Structure 1
Amino acid sequence: MRTEPRLRVARVRPDFVPKAVRHYLDHTAAGTSIRALARAADVHASTILRQVRRIENRRDDPLVDAALRRLSEHSDAASLSQQEPCMTKTPRTTAREEQQRIAAECSRALRRLMETGAVLAVAKDMEMAVVVRDAPDGSTTRTAVVGQDVAQALALNDWIATDDPDARIVKYRVTAAGRNQLRAFMANDENRATGMAEAPASFDHARVAAPAESPLNGLARRRDKDGKPFLSSALVRAGERLREDFELAQMGPRVTQDWDSFLTAGTTRTHSGASGNSPAAADARVKAALADLGPGLADIALRCCCFLEGMETTEKHMGWSARSGKIVLRIALQRLRLHYDSLGQAGKMIG
């Protein structure tokens, strides 16, 4: 009687790895035949073959190639049996936390990449990638720092793509798949905020509204009566600094904390020199900055810089007259810039 060969699969399979990539790793790293993979997936062998060829053709992308090499290096086909789930030395709780971290970081990066003129810049031999955006005055503003593992997850899932993979500094832009995935992340965040989500952030698609561009970007393109930008690059950077900490703080266990309640109840002086990229440190820095601004200015900074609320909506919520919000916002950003300048190196963007 003929015995079917045992299905061998790659050892490391993080949840963010797409199915096609898993099949590619199972075939190239674990040595599983195309036919065996097709039987296990209940598809025709030609389907698996097309997936393998497509992933192989994507290895010109430096992020995709680096991700595949990293995953292949951790493969251990002999230790796995047919149909058994992939196991690592990492405890399940830690693996889930890592999945949540990757999902949160991907969501943060995609939000930034949705902004006009934003790209993810990746240089060889650099541990971190950066999201940069062209400013109206021709300068470049850095808006986020992204770890290589997160950048690789974005590329591996086709959420970002580049037209020039051989450049010294490779620039990636968000794809249609990336926009759809951001909607999924946002839907998950909304469910979690209402207590409806118990599972880790999903990598599936969802249909919710796409995020808006920061009001700061629109105001920076406007000109005042003297022909100068209504918001200077320095003021925009101050607002981006606040948003960076706000987004990092949202990754912590208090992701659903009520910031509106924090503001309307008044501000409390908090230590502003907390350093590091941890959610707790970022949370402390946000509260310190808002406390320095005080009620009113803190409200508009939080709404426009962090919640990306439009001017008309903010003016309505605050009970202000039309076209007065942008003046108050500029004053808030001027105060915010002074706050970060007073912190010295600790007040600069992270990374």
Structure 2
Amino acid sequence: MQTELRAISTLPAWLPEAVRLYLDHTEEGLSLRALARREGCHASTVMRHVRRCESRRDDPLVDEALAALGRAQGRGHSPATKDSPDMTAPIRPEPSLSAMLDEATIAREARRILRRLAEPQSVLAIAPDMEKAAVLRSLPDGSTARMAVVERSVAQAFALKDWIACRKPGRIATYEITAAGRSALKRLIEAEDATRHGMAEAATPFAGQHRDWAEREIRDEDGPRRVRYNAAESPVAVLGRRRDKDGKPFLSAELVEAAERLREDFELAQMGPRVAQNWDRFLTGADRGSFRPESGGAEGPRQARERVASALRDLGPGLGDMVLRCCCFLEGLEAAERRMGWSARSGKIVLRIALQRLRRHYDETYGRSRPLIG
């Protein structure tokens, strides 16, 4: 028990769990079964983590970081230094990761460095005799520009977290941002923005990494306004994953497909110089009869505009408003309920009824085969 407590207390809190298990096994000598009992998992799970960390020691930054953390635990018999004489001094003293870094420092540096690495043709370069790593970017004229520098210990932490990966080992090793690094960058930016503006997304930072926020200008009875929406996912797709009390999807696949058909036509119809159009006019009595492009309508593919106008006229006010806001403008259900003056949690019921009517409109007008684009 004392050995396990000492292993936990000497490791920094930001270390990934797999790295922590690897160090406890290799440096502290804890068996895989003992670690499995401590973590409440199977021994094979611990073994997979340990083997993966061992295979990553070919990465120079990962190997340096694990060696430094091993010395911090008081043993220092890492594979990188086991063959070195005891009296040989290191060429460059390696700082202790646990003493220099904390969660706030790593997050601050990640927002700065990962943002640069996410740019095209950018890599992080480091050599054994360099105290700091440099972010380099290849320019169109063939030259290379240094975009940022970062402490070696911070780069080691990025490698341990699998935010960067070695793509070209050698005298000067180069690293690229990984998919996990891009997700972490989005998560950190979302958390920072939510903290600055006091938004609700601060409570769900991991969900923020899958969002792609954008803004669109729409016009209604109150005049033009800008709407912030998640371009990566629509409210209909979110409802399509929910299930009712019987375990059935709240929206069937046919209803989700109908919503995507309307959104596709809506996006096609907005191609052209005027992107922000007043689509609410299709829901008013004056424009429900016919659609005349020469009367100031939207520019773009005429067939897509006519399909959207026909669908909205068929749905009429109320149902048409709901699909327009949720399927086309990608407004959330709560925002749509407030704009329409409805009670809370009524929007999803109205949206399902509207999509059922929209599905019938498509079946009666075009049949099961959707019209071809163009």
Query: So what's the TM-score if we normalise by structure 2?
Result: 0.46
Q: Which has the larger radius of gyration?
A: 2
Query: So what's the TM-score if we normalise by structure 1?
Result: 0.49
Flag the structure with more relative contact order, 1 or 2, with Cα contacts below 8 A and sequence separation at least 6: 1
